[in-house]
Amino acid sequence: MQTLTPAVFWAQRHGEIYLRVEISDAKVSGSPHCLTFLCLYFSGQGHGAKGENEYEFSLEFLKPVKPEIKHKSTQRQVNITVRKQEHCWWDRLTMQEKKPLFLAPDFDRWLDESDAEMELKEKEEKINKLSIESRIPKDPYLGLKKGYLFMYNLVQFLGFSWIFVNMTVRLFILGQDSFYDTFHTIADVMYFCQMLAVIEVINPALGLVKTGMMPAFIQVTGRNFILFVIIGSLEEMQNKPVVFFVFYLWSAIEIFRYPFYMLACIDTEWKTLTWLRYTIWMPLYPLGVLAEAVAVIQSIPIFDESKFLSIRLPEAMGSFLSFSYVLQLYLLLMFLGLFFNFRHLYKLRRRKFRTKKRKAN
């Protein structure tokens, strides 16, 4: 029987090398072993790229490894784990600069150095967390806290669902005419939902949820400023089409976010909802901020003309300090907040799906 070289895929972490040998139903001849602290030898029989054959290969590693080799054969492949002697990142796998033809990166497990460091940090944090939790007595009020959070998210989900469905139906029936009376139709429920959303700033402050307080503070404060100051306090703004887009984009995000948190309260996950919660915000959140910015810009001439919220100055200094200066500063802060929150949410998404991918592997 002809001896051939199998396809081998590799990835690394700071302390380990992972090899995936593409041989199905493999019968490994002994165990993969290190001939020296630098060289690995593998031999086995199975179904590979050239059909049923004897396959073997050897690798001379860039740096020394430990002699203990772990391997596991499955119906599809052979997985080999090699531990590095020195905990460090390698520029390449083999001593020779030109990699062997049978060797390729394993993109299912591939991470660059920074991602691997983040993964290692997460593992250490998880171990520390488990260690701390094992020493801390269980919270006797955990069920009550979860019940409270579930009910809060349920109420918000129902509120924003009513807004989204109501606006969608009116859009199909009335067309563009629905743009101009959105505020008078939707405002009461939106007021309720956004005032209730202040709880999202309080919850992390009280330790009821693990998320940071600052992202919630930025979002809730920004939305309430737009709702109560820019739109709610100016009758001239309430009939503008931009109100429709602001409300519609807000509700489109929340009808996926709140049910995700509801299921998390009962330790349940729906994969489709998880994907939507961590993906739908990527186009909708910047569009929502853009709609808010348009509302602010449209309100500036109204504040200038009405002198509403402007500060009266002494006659020697001029008549009024217009509130429009505050709005111009707010526009800058709005886009800084967009950058901060987008970066925070993207990190959450990346961490969530990287964790799910590791569990799947």
- pLDDT for 93-121, tens place per residue? 888 888 888 898 988 888 887 777 777 77
Q: What is the mean pLDDT of residues 275-304?
A: 89
Most confident range (mean pLDDT) of 60-74, 87-101, 125-139, 159-173 is 159-173
Interacting residues of 67 by C-beta distance below 8 A, sequence separation 6+? 33, 34, 37
Query: Rounded to whole angstroms, how far apart are CA atoms 241 and 194?
Result: 20
**Residue 113 is among the residues annotated as catalytic for this protein:** no
**pLDDT grade, residue 2 (50/70/90)?**
low
CB atoms within 10 A of CB 160: 23
Tell me the whole-structure pTM to 2 decimals. 0.60
Residue 261's pLDDT is 92
Mean of pLDDT over the chain: 85
- What ranges in 48-141 are assigned the alpha helix state H? 113-135
Q: Say which amino acid occupies 128.
A: N
Smallest CA-to-CA distance from 28 within 42, 9, 49, 13 is with: 42
Average pLDDT score over residue span 76-93: 88
CA angle, residues 191, 192, 197, in degrees to nearest 5: 100
Catalytic site residue from 292, 315, 325, 346: 292
* Mean pLDDT along residues 11-25: 88
**If DSSP codes are grouped into helix, strand and coil, which group holds residue 267?**
coil
Q: Which one is catalytic: 285, 315, 325, 330?
A: 285
DSSP-based three-state secondary structure for 68: strand
Q: DSSP character for 94?
A: B
Segment 180-193 shows an average pLDDT of: 94
Q: 285 catalytic, yes or no?
A: yes
Cβ neighbours around 205 below 10 Å, total? 11
What pLDDT does residue 210 have?
A: 81
What are the CA-CA distances from residue 107 to residues 24, 40, 104, 232 (Å)? 19, 22, 9, 52
Task: Return the pLDDT at 231.
Answer: 94
- Mean pLDDT, residues 14-38 taken together: 77
Q: Using CA atoms, how far apart are residues 177 and 192, in angstroms rounded to an integer?
A: 25
Phi, psi of 94 (to 5 degrees): -105, 160
Residue with tokens 């080799």: 69
User: How high is the pLDDT of residue 250?
Assistant: 95
3-state secondary structure of 8: strand
> Residue 314 pLDDT > 70, yes or no?
no
Helix (H) or strand (E) holding 284: helix 281-306
Give the model confidence (pLDDT) of 192-231 as tens digits: 999 999 999 999 888 888 877 888 888 899 999 999 999 9
